[in-house]
Amino acid sequence: MQKENIILLTGGSAGLGKSTAELLMQNGYTVYSASRRLTEEKEDAVSHGKIIALQMDVTDIPSIKRAVARIMEESGRIDVLICNAGNGIAGAIEETSSEECKYQFETNFFGTVNVVHAVLPIMRKQRSGRIITTSSVAGFIPIPYQGFYSASKAAVKIFTQTLSLEMKQFNVQCCCVLPGDAKTDFTQTRKFTQASQSSDSVYTKKREKAVSIMAYDEQNGMQPIEISQAILAQIRKKKMAIVTIPGVKYKVISFLFRLVPNRFLLFVVDKLYS
């Protein structure tokens, strides 16, 4: 059995979560794959890794507690937590209601916080553990007409870095993964604000153009397995990176964006989505 064998992964039913669960299973890990709809349970005949389905909603604290209690009852520990559950909502900031803004943050940010809160006492008592959160390149590059998505992912990044400082004394490592555009079902499941669908919207032309460019970039982006491999690499490291960006292209973009003035950065982003 591997030293860090028991993994709780959220958002495991599709896309990056499903890809990551299967890769980890193939490498001998026991993955409790949590999602609102149950995933398929599997076992790898060669590595003896397995995927165990958990029904859990990251916005529902009682369901999180039940899921974590089951893992502890069956396995007695949680070695790695991967917070991957997320969603996207598109619309101009003016056309995003407070309720829609809260909807975006409820899963992407507070969902991560909820699951981390449930697992921290376990890892602290173990004096070991690894927490991996999924942010996005959009967490440091503002994306027009997905402003609250960008904001929620920026919040996840800062949250994870702060958590890393606080949990170091308990030998719990934290890593924030920032994927770029990836070919998943995120494109098809993107929601739109109610006001943005009105025929009276003054943002329609620019919003539709920007979102169509996003959709094209996503469907021609990285394969989920490339990001899953980056996550596996961090789990295997003796010391995880605090922030990691999968893919050479996005590493270069990140480096360049840190060098240029904010005004120029916004000018470039505006041109990319116009």
Q: 164 an active-site residue? A: no
Residue bearing tokens 């400082």:
165
Annotated catalytic residue within 19, 135, 164, 228: 135
Q: 237 an active-site residue? A: no
Q: 153 an active-site residue? A: yes
The three state secondary structure string of the chain is CCCCCEEEEECCCCHHHHHHHHHHHHCCCEEEEEECCCCCCEECCCCCCEEEEEECCCCCHHHHHHHHHHHHHHHCCCCEEEECCCCCEECCHHHCCHHHHHHHHHHHCHHHHHHHHHHHHHHHHHCCEEEEEECCHHHCCCCCCCHHHHHHHHHHHHHHHHHHHHHHHHCEEEEEECCCCECCCHHHHCEECCHHHCCCCCCHHHHHHHHHHHHHHHHCCECHHHHHHHHHHHHHCCCCCCEECCCHHHHHHHHHHHHCCHHHHHHHHHHHCC
**Nearest-angstrom CA–CA distance, 131 and 93:** 31
**Nearest-angstrom CA–CA distance, 106 and 136:** 16
Backbone φ, ψ for residue 97 (5° rounding): -75, 165
Q: 254 an active-site residue? A: no
Annotated catalytic residue within 145, 153, 164, 228: 153
Annotated catalytic residue within 29, 145, 149, 273: 149
Just list the catalytic residues: 13, 135, 149, 153
